[in-house]
Amino acid sequence: MEMKYSVTLSSFIEIFESLTQALPMLKQLGYDAIEVIGEDNSRKELDSFIETLTSYDLKVSGVTGMWGNFNSMAGSRRLLSVDIGVLKTAKKYVIRCIELCRQLGGQEFNICLFADPGTTMPDINHRVLSHEHKLKVVEKSFPILRSLSNYARDHGVLLLLEPLNRYATPFCCTAADALHICNAVDSPNLGILLDTFHMNIEENSFSHAIELVKDFLFNMHFADNNRKMPGSGHLDFRSIMKTLNEIDYQRYISFEPTLEQISYHDSLREGIAYIKGLENISAS
Ligand code: LER
Ligand code: MN
């Protein structure tokens, strides 16, 4: 199987090492690319960043959307908002990230669907919303997603819907939810990104979820159940890799762990080695 490996730069937020020190280490450990944080950079910063990456023979796989409560701006990026001003801000954000992705030579940008605060109560009883409730909230976004997908297509970038678990946002939580939205939007430029950390909470089965969306699956985020590198927790990456082989997945696997200063070199080394060891796990 022809797998390509990336790591999200958002994983390095707590790490005190300059990028120029971290990049050669990533290359040496077997990473092919990095996924860049979806925030503003000046043209000058971008140019020097691209130069540094190229010098280490690393690519940009894509741009990670900063949604939810990642930072103070992320909260206003709500594509399911009923407020026209907020919607405009969210659309502008997607457009900026598509442009950033194109400038960096990346392939994809992930979208997570957030609504206005108070739309749903934080659910301390761990319930999910009914299919009808989700549909009522998400269907307003279909024309927006269609026009953003067209914009992304014109820039050579794929827009990927990433289902998140119910505690982040309850409107698109499963592969089936994302598939429903993709079918309704009906744009060949809108695909799906599955994240094993969120899947662990929401899906009945890793294999069934991957198989269900195989024609739309253009990126995977890998983290274990504890949001550390694969192999540190109890997720069944054997079955995940086996299913990815079965569907002949040949896109990026982007590791998206929460790294800690004390252990991050070892984690990055052990995690990719563990997954590379499962690369040829038989589909039979
Ligand atoms: C957030 O939990 C996440 O998984 C990110 O990929 C969202 O951009
Ligand atoms: Mn993710």
| Gap between the Cα atoms of 43 and 5, Å rounded | 27
Q: Per-residue pLDDT averaged across 22-33, rounded?
A: 96
Tokens for 198, please give them. 């969120």
The reply to whether ligand 1 has any atom less than 6 angstroms from the CB of 256 is yes
Confidence (pLDDT) at 121: 66
Which of the ligands is closest to the CA of residue 93?
1
pLDDT at 2 exceeding the cut of 90? no
Average pLDDT over residues 182-192: 97
List strand residue ranges (DSSP E) for the chain, in order.
4-8, 33-37, 59-64, 108-111, 158-161, 190-195, 217-222, 252-255
**Span 140-170, pLDDT tens digits:** 999 999 999 999 999 999 999 999 999 999 9
Q: What is the C-alpha to C-alpha distance for residues 136 and 139, in angstroms, rounded to an integer? A: 6
pLDDT of residue 41: 77
221 lines ligand 1 (CB under 6 A): yes
Q: Tell me what percent of the residues of the chain surpass a pLDDT of 90.
A: 83
CA of 47 to the centre of ligand 2 (A): 26
Ligand 1 pocket member 112 (CB < 6 A): yes
Burial class (CB in 10 A: 0-12, 13-18, 19+), 25: middle
User: What is the whole-number distance in angstroms between the Cα of residue 160 and the centre of ligand 1?
Assistant: 12
Give the nearest ligand 1 atom to 66 CA. 8
Closest ligand 1 atom to residue 8 Cα is 6
